[in-house]
Structure 1
């Protein structure tokens, strides 16, 4: 069971990292299709740079060992970015196919977070 959880963690985490890095690069280089997407959603283009940088930093935080508190913040950031993307697409009336990417990354975020090994979790200290 422990080995299965570790496999699930690493597969979901590596796919999450790949998805966040690739979409982050697309946002940082301001690829034409992504610029059109942001414009359609009504967001300012400088937000692409902010999100791209945050995605890159979040991937580093999730992949490097130690620093469990920073990992929690990275997972939270991924969760808010992807749920925000889903809500934005729904609110703008985009076709349901536009939800696939953010929904997949949101799912990978949740699976990676849930199955992370204990050495990547914050350990609560109980006081009397």
Structure 2
């Protein structure tokens, strides 16, 4: 049980640090703002995604949030990371398309261990 918890928390934190922490940069970093324009997305989408990532991050990291809500946060992050892989691959080539795959792998492992903890 302890090993399961450790794996769950490490992978959840890594998924949030590598994928969701960028949400704060969407509001403050000129490089990230220009990156969104480079991908062809409008500014309002960057703001929406930043807010959604911050909310999702809180949902996954706060232990008192109900499991059913956490499930939807996992879905949202999964869609976001897969969309990032597609967008970067099409615009910048497969090399940069690989980058969002890292948080996606952490997210999948986190999700598997989330269910292991829930069913234990």
TM-score (norm 1): 0.82
Query: Conserved in 1, the CA contact under 8 Å of 2:19 and 2:100?
Result: no
User: CA–CA distance in 1 between the matches of 2:41 and 2:100?
Assistant: 16
**1:105 is the counterpart of 2:118:** no
Shift of 1:3: 2.5
2:40 aligned residue: 42
1:86 aligned residue: 85
User: What is the root-mean-square deviation of aligned Cα atoms in Å?
Assistant: 1.9
Larger radius of gyration: 1
Deviating 4+ runs (over 6 angstroms): none
2:62 aligned residue: 64
Shift of 1:17: 2.3
User: CA–CA distance in 1 between the matches of 2:4 and 2:98?
Assistant: 25
1:16 aligned residue: 15
What SS does structure 2 have at the residue aligned with 1:101? coil
1:118 aligned residue: 118
CA offsets 1:9-67 (integer angstroms, 9 cap, x no match):
110011122234420000122x1211221111111011111111111100111112241
CA offsets 1:56-85 (integer angstroms, 9 cap, x no match):
100111112241111001000000000001
Unaligned runs of 5+ in 1: 120-128
User: CA–CA distance in 2 between the matches of 1:32 and 1:16?
Assistant: 23
1:5 aligned residue: 4
What SS does structure 1 have at the residue aligned with 2:57? helix
TM-score (norm 2): 0.86
